[in-house]
């Protein structure tokens, strides 16, 4: 994280009550930045500064919610949900880390980094959506906060009982981003009324190896068919515990059990708005738990598992994953950020033979993807709605650990004035969407070839 947050006109919403508080929060964080750089600092002073920031953030939420109510903003409830997530989940977790470590330099830096990242994203994306009267639809079918909290606590409790993991809920808006080497497990239930419910559990592989592997005394650090089958049954138990929170699922039966690739999981996830979508840090790796209700489940080509074929199909799935990882480990990662599904699919087809292609449809999902799976190059749509390419680039550059990630803009505008605006932002380059696919591929290849030549001895 840089040493200062600089306010500029991009942060202005034109609403005085919002802009005034944003500026104040910027100033508070800058004072904390300066304080954090001092060799000798009082823990008490640091505690007071953190409390001051928290109090102003909470007051800002209240003022902003009053404004949204006054204009009958359609996304009011969802915006409140985002506020509440930061206030009741993110901030307490950061405060606990500060207290546990005695306000260590690392904990203070983490607090500042998360809060500064939140403030920039909150200002550029969520608040701009308010003044533009736009609503992000992905989270409109979420369960009430109280129910999500109970489900989150249930999962944390079960993970502790099963594996002695001190897990922490770090987001109740997991957007389907890839993290590490993952296992994507899908259960489809059907009720007597023929309503379909999908449960999606995503395990980082190292979570399985370090927890279930230790329980059954597996010495190998690699996944095996036996380890995966134990994981499946334990996942089923976890689903059953959560299923108990839904009376309508009391008599529901499992109709399909699948292991998916990340690409298959992404298609399923993106087509349905989740009822809840929780991301946990288990201390051994990430774990995500999502649930959706659907009229007709998407037919993906995942590994369908039944008792008769379980061992064979699980082995096949693991072998395919191993082969894919071997290939991907040699590939550079390219994150494509665009709000057009067509553009994302086109770029994925164009680049996937030579690169590991990650995708994101918004600024927030781009930042989450960068955090969880750092790319070697970002191809960024310049004309994004709500939060445009220049604002997303600003968010990336504001984080010290991300600031050196190369970004190339994708733009449909090639007139002199538009190109000038793009170049002024100092990306690593820009590509016109009107270029042929062959030329786009050639430009991406050329970027990495040039970079390799610079880095070669």
Q: How many CA atoms lie within 13 A of 328 on its CB side?
A: 17
DSSP state of 95: H
Number of other CB atoms surrounding residue 152 within 10 Å: 20
Tokens of 184: 């994507």
Q: What is the DSSP string of 410-443?
A: EES--SHHHHHHHHHT--SEEEETTS-HHHHHHH
Q: Which of 159, 202, 155, 158 is nearest to 177 (CA)?
A: 202
Using the predicted structure, report yes or no on whether residue 317 has a pLDDT greater than 70.
Answer: yes
**Lowest-confidence pick of 262-276, 284-298, 316-330, 424-438:** 316-330
Instruction: Specify the pLDDT at position 36.
Output: 54
**Structure-model confidence comparison of residues 375 and 120, the more confident one:** 375
Residues 222 and 318 sit within 8 Å (Cβ to Cβ): no
What's the rounded mean pLDDT across residues 238-250?
85
**Mean local confidence (pLDDT), 230-257:** 85
- Which backbone phi and psi does 151 adopt, to 5 degrees? -65, -45
pLDDT-derived band at 117 (thresholds 50, 70, 90) equals: low
Which CATH class for the 9-131 domain? mainly alpha
Angstrom distance (rounded) from CA 217 to CA 342: 47
Is 78 a residue whose pLDDT tops 70? yes
Secondary structure class of 183 (helix, strand, coil): strand
Residues forming CATH 3.40.50.2300 domain(s) in the chain = 331-451
Mean pLDDT of the chain: 79
Confidence tier at 296 by pLDDT (50, 70, 90): low
Residue scoring higher pLDDT (62 or 181): 62
| Longest pairwise C-alpha distance within the chain | 67
Q: Which of 339, 418, 431, 336 is nearest to 386 (CA)?
A: 339
Tens digits of residue pLDDT in 320-333: 777 766 655 678 89
* 327: enclosing H helix or E strand: helix 310-328
CB 113 within 8 Å of CB 399: yes
- Please say if the pLDDT value at position 201 is more than 90: yes
Do β-strands 377-381 and 332-337 pair in parallel, antiparallel, or remain unpaired? parallel
Q: CATH 1.20.120.50 in the chain: give the residue spans.
A: 9-131
Q: What percentage of residues in the chain have a pLDDT greater than 90?
A: 9
In this predicted structure, the answer to whether residue 377 has a pLDDT above a threshold of 50 is yes
Per-residue pLDDT of 357-374, as tens digits, reads: 988 887 777 877 887 778
Q: What is the pLDDT of residue 361?
A: 81
- H or E element at residue 351: helix 341-351
Which one has a higher pLDDT value, 342 or 376?
376
Phi/psi for 302 (5° steps) reads -75, 170
pLDDT at 162 over 70: yes
With a CB cutoff of 8 Å and minimum separation 6, the contacts of 160 are: 166, 167
Mean pLDDT of 174-194: 83
Backbone φ and ψ of 400, nearest 5°: -55, -40
Residue-level pLDDT at 419: 60
Tell me what pLDDT residue 1 has: 37
The larger pLDDT score, comparing residue 3 to residue 261, is at 261
What CATH fold (topology level) applies to the domain 331-451?
Rossmann fold (3.40.50)
Enter the tokens of residue 298: 């998407």
- The answer on pLDDT for 202 being more than 90 is yes
Q: In this predicted structure, what is the pLDDT of residue 366? A: 82
Domain 145-324 = CATH 3.40.1550.10? yes
In whole angstroms, give the CA distance from residue 29 to residue 118: 12
Q: Which two tokens stand for residue 192?
A: 């007597």
Cα dihedral angle (295, 299, 302, 306), rounded to 10 degrees? 70
Average pLDDT (127-141) is: 72
pLDDT tops 90 at residue 253: no
Of the two residues 118 and 72, the one the predictor is more confident about is: 72
Indicate the range of 113-127, 187-201, 325-339, 433-447 predicted with least confidence. Answer: 113-127
Q: pLDDT band at residue 57, thresholds of 50, 70 and 90?
A: confident
**Beta-bridge partner residues of 412:** none
pLDDT exceeds cutoff 70 at 186: yes
The helix (H) or strand (E) run that includes residue 41 is none
456 confidence band (pLDDT: 50, 70, 90): low
């Amino acid at each position: 994280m840089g040493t200062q947050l600089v306010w500029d006109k991009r942060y202005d919403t034109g609403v005085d009550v919002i802009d005034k508080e944003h500026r104040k929060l910027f100033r508070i964080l800058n004072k904390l930045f300066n304080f954090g750089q001092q060799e000798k600092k009082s823990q008490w002073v640091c505690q007071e500064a953190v409390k001051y920031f928290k109090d102003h953030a909470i007051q800002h939420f209240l003022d902003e919610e009053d404004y949204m109510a006054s204009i009958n903003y359609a996304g009011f409830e969802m915006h409140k949900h985002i506020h509440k997530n930061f206030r009741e989940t993110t901030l307490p977790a950061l405060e606990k880390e500060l207290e546990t470590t005695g306000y260590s330099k690392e904990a203070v830096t983490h607090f500042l980094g998360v809060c500064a990242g939140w403030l920039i994203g909150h200002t550029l994306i969520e608040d701009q959506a308010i003044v533009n009267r736009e609503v992000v639809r992905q989270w409109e079918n979420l369960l009430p906060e109280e129910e999500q909290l109970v489900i989150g606590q249930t999962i944390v409790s079960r993970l502790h009982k099963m594996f002695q993991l001190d897990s922490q809920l770090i987001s109740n808006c997991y957007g389907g981003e890839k993290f590490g080497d993952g296992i994507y497990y899908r259960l489809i239930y059907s009720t007597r009324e023929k309503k379909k419910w999908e449960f999606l559990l995503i395990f980082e592989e190292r979570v399985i190896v370090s927890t279930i592997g230790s329980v059954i005394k597996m010495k190998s650090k690699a996944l095996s068919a036996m380890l995966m089958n134990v994981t499946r049954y334990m996942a089923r138990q976890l689903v059953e515990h959560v299923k108990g929170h839904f009376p309508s699922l009391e008599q529901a039966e499992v109709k399909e059990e699948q292991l998916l690739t990340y690409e298959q999981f992404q298609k399923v996830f993106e087509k349905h708005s989740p009822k809840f979508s929780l991301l946990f840090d288990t201390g051994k790796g990430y774990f995500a738990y999502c649930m959706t209700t659907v009229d007709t489940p998407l037919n993906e080509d995942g590994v369908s598992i039944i008792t008769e074929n379980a061992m064979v199909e699980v082995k096949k799935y693991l072998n395919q994953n191993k082969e894919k990882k071997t290939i991907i480990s040699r590939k550079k990662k390219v994150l494509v950020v665009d709000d057009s599904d067509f553009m994302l699919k086109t770029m994925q087809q164009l680049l996937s033979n030579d690169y590991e292609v990650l995708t994101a449809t918004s600024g927030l999902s781009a930042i989450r993807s960068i955090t969880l799976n750092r790319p070697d190059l970002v191809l960024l749509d310049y004309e994004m709605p709500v939060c445009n390419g220049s604002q997303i680039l600003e968010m990336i550059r504001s984080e010290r650990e991300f600031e050196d990630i190369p970004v190339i803009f994708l733009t449909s505008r090639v007139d002199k004035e538009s190109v000038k605006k793009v170049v002024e932002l100092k990306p690593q380059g820009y590509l016109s969407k009107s270029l042929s696919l062959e030329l786009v591929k050639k430009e991406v290849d050329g970027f990495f070839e040039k970079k390799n030549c610079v880095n070669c001895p």
